Structure 1
Amino acid sequence: MSSSRVLVLNSGSSSVKYQLLDMRDGSRLAVGLVERIGEETSRLKHTPLATGESREWTGAMADHEAALKAVSEELTRDGLGLDSPELAAIGHRVVHGGKLFTEPTVIDDAVLAEIERLIPVAPLHNPANLTGIRTAQALRPDLPQVAVFDTAFHTTMPESAARYAIDVKTADEHRIRRYGFHGTSHAYVSRATAELLGKDPSDVNVIVLHLGNGASASAVEGGRCVDTSMGLTPLEGLVMGTRSGDMDPAVIFHLMRVGGMSTDEIDTLLNKKSGLIGLCGDNDMREIRRRIDEGDEQAQLAFDIYIHRLKKYIGAYYAVLGRVDAVAFTAGVGENASPVREAAVAGLEALGLAVDSELNAVRSDEPRLISPESARVAVAVVPTDEELEIATQTYALVNGSRNLT
């Protein structure tokens, strides 16, 4: 039997998420999570999809090497071990690829060095991604390891969208530009939306709204990203669970001069204590909606600010694209919060956007249209699948094919 399996690894600073997929049909063979790596209370949850019965293990895992060895042992128990000849490659999520990495890339020493060189613009993510890669390489040095970059999908943005209006020399010296993130999700959802419409991605213009605790929007023209809301870091753009999104950069100087805050304190404020949690104390949209239903004015204001920013980006990207065939909602909030979808589109009827209340209320794990048949622009809910996207790109690369449809 030819090698058809891909292991997808998403390594965080103290966690490893993983999925093993069979690329003959895109099915999942096993999924799991290791968390609290480096602590005495590390936890591994492993689920083989053949049985659907999860196994959990708790104890001390000193580092990512110990974590991946434990994952390997769990997979072996199910006959899915890393030593299997059916394993074609390991695909790694890497958050920041800068300008250089525009597509999935087989990892070698030069690639590792560049990922490391990008640590200053992704200090929380790239070091953890590197650790996962090096650990996997040690376990299977003979196997192709592929990096799939969050930023890659957005490298098609024109310079007019990617550049900030600051001194060019300074920007180039410090690599200051808009890179964008959530790229694997935007790539998957834009393509899946075209499929839902029965069209080729090259013929479809889509505004993708990835709304989770982190949130981003993208304008996708004929399968290529031409603008996205996140920038040098994931802080720019939409109102998020704990991040502020767009604001006047002079606020930072004001907080330093008048508020006496340090750069680290401001960084923490804008990334971890702002957004919805800063506005109303909650970053769970379900809880915010419950509070609104009870008449909580602070929760209502937070929701209104969230929606106002979302509408601004829908309108802006409509202008950037010129023609819009669909607006697609995805990720935790986008897929499950019907009030968010309804409010985001309300009042945009002149742009051809509308939501059918009955279709919008339906809960489903399948891609679906929630706009009336008469709507000029389709409004869709498309569950994202970043792991499948990483596996698809990885498998296509190691098999010498770039056909990812």
Structure 2
Amino acid sequence: MANQKAKGRKRPSMFEVANLAGVSHQTVSRVINHSPDVSDATRAKVLAAIDKLDYRPSNSARALASQRSRTIGLIAGGVNYFGPVSSITSIESIARQHGLFMSVMMVDETNCTQSDFEALCENFLQQSVDAFIFLTPTDAMFEAACKAQVSQPRVVVTSTHGALRADEALSSASETSRLAFTGIDQWGAVQEVARLLAMRGHRTALYMAGPSQWRDATTRLDSWRQAARSYRIRTAVVHSRTWQSREAYALMNHLIDERGMTGTALPSAVVTANDNQAVGAARALHEHGLRIPQDISLVGFDDIPTVDNMYPPLTTVRPRFADLGAATMRQVLALLDQGQPARFAVSRHGVGLIEADIVMRSSLGHASRLL
């Protein structure tokens, strides 16, 4: 009976909150919208009134008053993988902290066309979103995001290298004054991996690249090639069509068997473009009786859950996804004139970059021989 009564009860208004707290309805609005222009004592009175009346602000009413929906449209690819999912989680968490709603649509990152992308944007425009965030792991998605015919502010989360660099994309982008790019400093992280290998005496290494249409894969491969030259590491590159461990396992098996038949020495280290590949490579090495790191060192990228419990635990790159989410939302808010833009220690090709950390574990050792 009490529940039925509650259901039939009229929803309390902002004016009722203001009357109970003894303040104006404008002051209640400032408290709801987290304005700093309210004293602590007044804020406490308003919050107590809100709690007593069980008041819930109407998002539609706030949108009418401010001419903003407080909704951000996020279009994301790569949601089957750790990196993109971690980025989405971080961005959504920061949005909630700022009282913003995140509306998310997933897309096939490989087969996404410009018309597909425009259709998704149109769906969001019908929701009156204030801004867009585009998570674009592949070249197809990145180009579509840059060319999207939207006037709202947009932040594109991407890698620095690919078929089209971020600075090159500006020439074809619409509304460039309301466009920003953020990402992880993958280039710098791979450079640091190569430096650590060289410091430990590694002069030969196999690099296992990711699928070529992924901008992460291109960025990491281009950086590796340059770093290998700089540190005089003789390197072979094998190309994987996927990020999956099973393909990495097959490629590693083939390489070991091929070199065994020809009598060619194996490299002293294997560097993979992601941790899934490292898992597959490790299995192949173990099955051939090769010890990690005594015979071959192994390094991955992403620091996915469980790689710290591999045998041996995997040395890898840990992107700062929480910092990426915070920086991306700061860029959105700045484009909406609600704060200062994020400051980046590193920027390449027009992309503001968040650092990544090398997590040292026992899979990386000293080279056991000079080859």
> TM-score, normalised on structure 1?
0.34
Structure with more helix by fraction: 2
Task: Decide which structure has the larger Cα Rg and report it.
Answer: 2
